[in-house]
Chains A and B, each alone.
Chain A
């Protein structure tokens, strides 16, 4: 019996009084999400990408690392296969734990915590750039020549770039920038958009007016030109701490601070309509405080547009970061990013060396595509007007 059937069966069981096991909103959500084939695959894929990117320092060799023998050339053959297999397994379990019926939320949270822990431990690669340049290692052959612009072949699955660096290693590391941007922007947008939107929506009058004027102001800024200026001057801003000047973190914070406006408007609109609903009135009549009404009554009901919109904004943010890096105002070389690799790949693709461009672009497009599919799937799954029996 497939899972889809089992969920429907469980619903029927309860309906017919056979089983007393309650069907939670989570179960309904998961069942609806699994209907969305592409979103399911996208979840799986993002787990895979996330895992590979998070653990990138473990997969690719470090400079003067004896473990890798002559360097990354050796490792790229067998280790790649092993790496992919492990990643697929972990991605699958991540997916299973996220959507499994039994205590899905708890398992998912544990998994996210563990992954975040690993991420923090391994993220020194992003924080402390000058000392880690395994992705900047050039590949020498037996006679010590640097292998520049090597087409993909057995031991170098994705070829090398114009400086003789392994494209596979750089694609893997490049994902870290995109992922950092995705995480930071997601968190920032969800926080800023929700707080500002809900305050504006719940407290009419001065609070609403001033917050919304501020939101209009941020939304009125032309996104790309402003992002380009900030990206350009970011490494030179005197008052910023060091880790924001280099690498993806500064870009992520910058993008996050520019794109929360749309979410704030949506949250405000939700709050405006929910505030007038009978259940809120009932809560108020029962003497609930503002805080309780906001957090226990309104916010949970406004959660689905927040989740969906944040997911979609994350996709946009990753594209924006890539565009900035492509133009040279995002994450600076030699730190690899997909956008930056596309830029250097484009310049050598003119001479027929297509691999760096194609693989970095492919990684970028597939990741954003997966995020958009997840957003689409979540939108369908979180829509309470959709019945479980829908086609």
Chain B
């Protein structure tokens, strides 16, 4: 198992290398300098010279690639403003604390896999302690904002890419996590109910609806929701239920603070009004997929031999469905959910640009439009790393939940 994870991680790193090379070459061969926009402004001459030297923009592409690669993995200290351009400093003591936290988290995770205890409580403890360690490490790294990798400075003059991405990632996480949760709590029960009432009117209706949703591009769902549930509804009924742009209203801070610095009810309501429509548009397709998948997996279990045995023993139908069927039918969907992360990130890119959501997706689209290559590379690598990690997590989870699966 451990060797398997290490091997997968190595493949993952190779994939990321290939990804970075492909994107880098595409940008290199697309003609024109990435600094073309800055050149329009005569005041930017010193900045251009500085960036050209920093990124080796006058060197051949392979040297530029290695400069980028070296910078990409180099830790740097808090960015400091200097003239027109942000300069990333050398490592300070606080950065070393953050790095030590990250190394400790990795080390603890690796070390735990060497401890051989065959007990269920140990598995649970291991899983929770790893998650906890990573949360703490992440908090140390993030909360001080002392630690950064030298992902460069946006060519659009937005400051350090690391800060931009970590600022936007939280917003994308809020959107994506809500969407995933929504898809799960609607999709799975729907699929289970459809399987229990196979061939009923509800089942056929659900199948038809998920087929249609599955064939609808995410941008059409987003635009339609925006138009019908927000704009046209307000126009016809005068009720403003949802907002279509941004994460909060402009008067968000005046809505009052709740206890312990938590948002007040009014603020929570405002957030929900903004969050609902983009979350639904990302979730809709996954929802359809989950309900289809859950239905199939539930049906497969319902027709299995051991379930017939359970029924034949005279167990109540409820026990049969919940204890025997449902538990096993939920296993496959765990993998599906982990693999769905890539799809949700893709959906977030489209949805964020429709709903003006200040997340990674909008950052990416903006960077693409002006070929701001430090940002493009960083976003692509971050998403690629997320996909690689989630693929590995999917495999591990599957092995943990289904004891028949063995890795070699």
The CA of A354 and the CA of B342, in the complex, are separated in Å by 32
- A217 and B14 contact, Cβ closer than 8 Å, known pairs A223-B342, A361-B224: yes
Q: Sample 13 A-B pairs with CB under 8 A, ordered by A number.
A: A222-B380, A222-B383, A224-B350, A226-B22, A229-B368, A233-B27, A233-B371, A238-B31, A342-B223, A349-B227, A350-B227, A361-B223, A365-B217
Pick the 5 closest A-B CB pairs, nearest first: A233-B30, A224-B346, A220-B15, A369-B215, A368-B215
Q: Looking at the assembled complex, report how far the CB atom of A377 sits from the nearest CB atom of chain B, in whole angstroms.
A: 12
The answer to whether B384 and A222 have CB atoms under 8 Å apart is: yes
Q: A-B pairs with CB below 8 Å: how many?
A: 133
Interface majority SS (helix, strand, loop, mixed), chain A: helix
Q: Which of B308-357 contact A (CB under 8 A)?
A: 342, 345-346, 349-350, 353-354
Q: How far is the CB of A286 from chain B (nearest CB, A)?
A: 35
Residues of A within 8 A of B224 (CB): 361
B216 at the interface (CB under 8 A from A): yes
| Cβ–Cβ < 8 Å partners of B227 in chain A | 346, 349-350, 354, 357
Across the interface, do B368 and A228 meet the contact criterion of CB distance under 8 Å?
yes
Stretch at the interface among A98-106, A189-197, A318-326: A318-326
Is the C-beta of B405 less than 8 angstroms from some C-beta in chain A?
no
Would you call A372 and B215 a contact (CB within 8 A)?
Answer: yes
**When chains A and B are docked, how far (Å) is the Cα of A280 from the Cα of B345?**
44
A342 to chain B: which residues have CB within 8 Å? 217, 219-220, 223
Per-position 1/0 for A226-242, Cβ under 8 A of B: 10111011001111000
List of A residues within 8 angstroms of B350 by Cβ: 224, 323, 326-327
In A208-253, the 8 Å CB interface with B consists of 213, 216-217, 220-226, 228-230, 232-233, 236-239
CB nearest neighbor in B for A367: B215
Query: Are B384 and A364 in contact, CB atoms less than 8 angstroms apart?
Result: no
Given A221-B19, A350-B231, 10 more A-B residue pairs with CB atoms under 8 Å apart are A217-B18, A220-B384, A225-B364, A228-B365, A236-B31, A237-B31, A365-B216, A371-B215, A372-B215, A373-B211
Q: Which residues of A304-324 have CB atoms within 8 Å of chain B's CB atoms?
A: 315, 319, 322-323
**Cβ contacts under 8 Å, A232 to chain B:** 30, 368-369, 371
User: Which residues of B are at the interface with A, using a C-beta cutoff of 8 A?
Assistant: 11-12, 14-15, 18-19, 22-23, 26-27, 29-32, 211-212, 214-220, 223-224, 226-227, 231, 342, 345-346, 349-350, 353-354, 364-365, 368-369, 371, 376, 379-380, 383-384, 387-388, 391
A225-B346, A369-B211 given; A323·B15 CB < 8 A? no
Chain B residues with CB under 8 A of A327: 219, 350, 353, 365
8 Å CB interface, A345-379 against B = 346, 349-350, 354, 357, 361, 364-365, 368-369, 371-373, 376
* A43 on interface, CB distance cutoff 8 Å: no
Contact indicator A217/B15 (Cβ below 8 Å): yes
Instruction: Give Cα distance in the complex from A343 to B353, angstroms.
Output: 11
Q: Is the CB of B346 within 8 A of A222?
A: yes
Q: Which residues of B contact A182 (CB under 8 A)?
A: none
Query: Is B380 a contact partner of A226 (Cβ separation < 8 A)?
Result: yes
Taking the nearest CB of chain B, how far is it from the CB of A39, in angstroms?
12
Q: When chains A and B are docked, how far (Å) is the Cα of A213 from the Cα of B211?
A: 33
A329 is an interface residue with CB less than 8 A from chain B: yes
**Residue among B212, B223, B345, B371 making CB contact with A365, cutoff 8 Å:** B212
The chain B residue with its CB closest to the CB of A221 is: B19
Indicate if the CB atoms of B349 and A224 lie closer than 8 Å: yes
* Contact of A339 with B by CB under 8 A: yes
Contact, CB under 8 Å: B387 / A220? yes
Residues of A within 8 Å of B11, CB to CB, are 213, 216, 220
Q: How far is the CA of A180 from the CA of B176 in the complex (A)?
A: 33
> How far is B227's CA from A220's CA once the two chains are assembled, in angstroms?
35
Q: Could you tell me the distance between the alpha carbons of A371 and B217 in the complex, rounded to whole angstroms?
A: 14
Contact B215 A323 (CB under 8 A): no
Bound-state Cα–Cα, A217 to B21, Å: 12
B368-A357 in contact (CB<8A): no
CA–CA, A349 and B12, complex, Å: 44
Instruction: From B19, B31, B217, B371, give the contact of A220 (CB < 8 A).
Output: B19
Q: Which residues of A contact B26 (CB under 8 A)?
A: 229-230, 233, 237
Given contacts A225-B364, A236-B30, contact A372 B231 (CB under 8 A): no
Shortest beta-carbon distance, B266 to chain A, in Å? 28
Question: Smallest Cβ distance from B3 to chain A, in angstroms?
Answer: 17
Instruction: Tell me, in angstroms, the Cα distance from A328 to B350 when the chains sit together.
Output: 11
User: Which chain A residue shows the least CB distance to B16?
Assistant: A220
Residues of A within 8 A of B384 (CB): 220-222
Contacts of A213 in B (CB 8 A): 11, 14
- Measured CA separation A371–B214 after assembly (Å): 12
Using Cβ atoms and an 8 Å threshold, which residues of chain A touch B364? Answer: 225, 228
Q: Are A365 and B215 in contact (CB under 8 A)?
A: yes
With a CB–CB cut-off of 8 A, which chain B residues contact A349? 223, 227
Query: Measured between C-beta atoms, what is the minimum distance from A370 to chain B in Å?
Result: 8
Contact A315 B217 (CB under 8 A): no
* Nearest A-chain residue to B17, judged by Cβ: A217
Give the CA-CA distance A326 to B215 in the complex, in Å.
Answer: 16
**B219 → chain A closest CB, angstroms:** 5
CB of B81, distance to nearest CB on chain A (Å)? 30
Residues A236 and B383 in contact in the complex (CB < 8 Å), given A226-B19, A226-B22, A342-B223: no
A329 to B211, CA, bound (A): 27
Query: How far is it, in angstroms, between the C-alpha of A237 and the C-alpha of B28 when the chains are bound?
Result: 9
**CA A237 – CA B31 in complex, angstroms?**
7
Q: Complex Cα distance A217/B226, Å?
A: 37
Q: Compute how far the CA of A201 lies from the CA of B100 in the bound complex, rounded to whole angstroms.
A: 46
Q: Which residues of A contact B18 (CB under 8 A)?
A: 217, 221
Cβ-defined contact, B14 with A225, below 8 A: no
A339 CA to B23 CA, complexed, in Å:
24
Q: For B199, give the chain A residue with the smallest CB separation.
A: A391
Residue of A225, A230, A237, A315 near B215 (CB, 8 A) is: A315
Q: Please report the C-alpha to C-alpha distance between residue A228 and residue B383 in the assembled complex, in whole angstroms.
A: 13
